[in-house]
């Protein structure tokens, strides 16, 4: 699974980082960092990554099978 991120729409709520801290984080300026940009999310993080995608209140994250 890959994840598409619309960084321009991200409001920095941080729910994704709470749900999947090995996949997402917020930097000191509350800017989203996606740790697997351009790569598949490793299988051991897939469940948490899906939960993060589903938790985003502004739908900036999209799972791509």
Write out the residue range of the structural domain in which residue 53 sits: 2-64
| Average pLDDT of span 44-54 | 98
65 pLDDT tier (thresholds 50, 70, 90): confident
CATH of the domain at 6: 3.30.70.20
Name, in order, each residue with C-beta under 8 angstroms of 31's C-beta and a sequence gap of 6 or more: 7, 10, 12
CA 42 to each of CA 3, 13, 62: distance values in angstroms, whole numbers, following the listed order: 11, 24, 16
pLDDT tens-digit map of 5-48: 999 999 999 999 999 999 999 999 999 999 999 999 999 999 99
Angle 14-17-18 (CA atoms, 0-180°, nearest 5)?
Answer: 90
Which stretches within the chain are classed as H helix?
Answer: 15-19, 46-55
In sign, the C-alpha dihedral spanning 47, 52, 53, 57 is: positive
Q: Look at residue 41 and give its three-state secondary structure.
A: coil
Q: What is the number of domains present in the chain?
A: 1
Global pTM reads 0.92
């Amino acid at each position: 699974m890959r994840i598409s991120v619309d960084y321009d729409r991200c409001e920095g709520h941080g729910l994704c980082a709470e749900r999947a801290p090995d996949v997402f984080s917020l930097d000191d300026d509350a800017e989203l960092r996606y740790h697997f940009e351009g790569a598949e999310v490793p299988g051991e993080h897939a469940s948490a990554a899906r939960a993060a995608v589903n938790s985003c209140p502004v739908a900036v994250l999209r799972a791509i099978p």
